[in-house]
């Protein structure tokens, strides 16, 4: 999902470039496949340049940095699940046993993805910031009476002064 038209355009270009690149890899033995490979790579490079060009326009990220150790722990648990799944192929000979080991490995990976990683990132989520701080400079969540009075009472204009 893109937040702006330019992000959506470059993402669409990225998807098209990835598709053309995959088609080139699939038919690499032919001349057309080599051409598709080069065209797909060029489209991917163009989309990457476009993404980097619009990066400064995105503004401040609302999520604060989270602890690195929790991120690495979550990624490690996900990797451990896949190692259990792949290791089970070599350790167990029966099909039923392989299915059980694969399901355990997938469960461990899902635990890492759905429990450990969100805990790492939700500790510093933008909705958990204190109410007094704001992500945008000069923006207050509650307007005081002085702010409202200054906005509601307009300065006299040239037309207003001639009654």
Burial of 36 (0-12, 13-18, 19+ CB in 10 A): buried
On whether the CB atoms of residues 14 and 44 are closer than 8 A, the answer is: yes
pLDDT of residue 36: 94
Region of residue 59 (phi > 0: left; psi between -120 and 50: alpha; otherwise: beta): left
pLDDT value at 73 more than 70: yes
pLDDT, tens digit, 9 for 90 and up, residues 1-16: 556 788 888 999 999 9
- Give the mean pLDDT of 123-138: 56
How many Å apart are CA 87 and CA 105, to the nearest integer? 9
Burial of 114 by CB count in 10 Å (0-12 exposed, 13-18 middle, 19+ buried)? exposed
Query: pLDDT band at residue 65, thresholds of 50, 70 and 90?
Result: low
């Amino acid at each position: 999902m893109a937040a702006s038209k330019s992000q959506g355009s470059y993402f669409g270009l990225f998807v098209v470039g990835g598709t053309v690149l995959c088609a080139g890899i699939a038919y690499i033995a032919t001349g057309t496949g080599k051409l598709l490979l080069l065209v797909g790579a060029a489209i991917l490079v163009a989309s990457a340049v476009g993404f980097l060009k619009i990066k400064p326009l995105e503004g401040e990220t609302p999520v604060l940095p989270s602890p690195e150790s929790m991120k690495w722990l979550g990624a490690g648990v996900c990797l451990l699940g896949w190692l259990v799944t792949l290791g089970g192929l070599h350790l167990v000979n029966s099909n039923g046993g392989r299915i059980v080991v694969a399901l355990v490995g997938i469960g461990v990976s899902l635990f890492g993805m759905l429990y450990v990683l969100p805990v790492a990132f939700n500790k510093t989520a933008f909705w958990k910031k204190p109410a007094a701080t704001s992500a945008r400079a000069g923006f207050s969540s509650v307007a005081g009476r002085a702010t409202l009075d200054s906005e509601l009472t307009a300065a006299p204009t040239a037309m207003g002064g001639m009654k």
